[in-house]
Structure 1
Amino acid sequence: MGRTPAACRQLASSARRRIADRRPGSSTAQEHRQIVTAFRHACQTGDLDTLVALLDPAVESRSDGGGRVRAALRPIVGRDKVARLFLGLMRNEPGVELVEEDVNGTPGVSVRIAGTTIAVVALDIHDGLVTDVWMVVNPDKLHAWTGHETP
């Protein structure tokens, strides 16, 4: 790694501390669904103020393109940057439809164009705010969503 053993131990310790500090979502299923609905609506209507208000100040958005499709290589951090990312994606893709669906057992959003699922978005929510956004755009990982496409 090009680092001293002491530096590697410090990095590992810091990473373990950071993971331990990450609190799991604390919302009820109903609260989670309400926030997902508000998130979807704000994205579809281009309501920047509402979208920003739904996001934690330190929200992080991660995307998985798997090297097959274009995706951010590093997390997008901060409510303004994440909100602008999603609103920009909505503007740049005509005909985008956001559909609320269960994603990994919790309310989330599938992103479709002409009935084809191009992304799945999961949201972690804590204290009524979105703390993490996980977006899968890798077509190899969207096979489970092909049943959701329209002919």
Structure 2
Amino acid sequence: MSVVPAATRRRALGLCWSSTTTAYLSGWRAPTTKGTARGRGGQVLGYACSQIHRDQEAFRETVEVSIGLVKGSRGQGLGTSLYRALFGLLADEPIHAVLAGIALPNDASVALHRRFGFSDVGIFREYAVKNGQYISSLWMQRLQSDPLRVR
């Protein structure tokens, strides 16, 4: 597995593995948008990215992170590698709080976020529709000032 070069990474973040992911990532915006992708043999296997949580001034130091892996790449440490790289990119940014929303059920993603120091904030119940079904989402948070200790 290799780190995708910067120019390829910019393209990869918009080309991941589905039109849904492409549309999702294309809406993420600067100035604190950061992203990283990993690939093998020209195929993007996963991404991790961040964006400003909301456009209002009050949220200028709050970002939301997202991570996605192709099914065949799960359980191999790729998510940990991507989040390490993303949090390295965010380390020098003026960020206080990092948020993550995880569609439930997703035990692997919840465990990954807990390993990176995220704690549970609450659950939005049936707040979105995915594949024709209402889904709930666990929201988690970590403060950037907390030391990044991957458990």
Same fold per superposition (TM over 0.5): no
Structure with the larger RCO, 1 or 2 (CA within 8 Å, 6+ apart): 1
Q: Which has the higher strand share?
A: 2
Query: Normalised by the size of structure 2, how large is the TM-score?
Result: 0.30
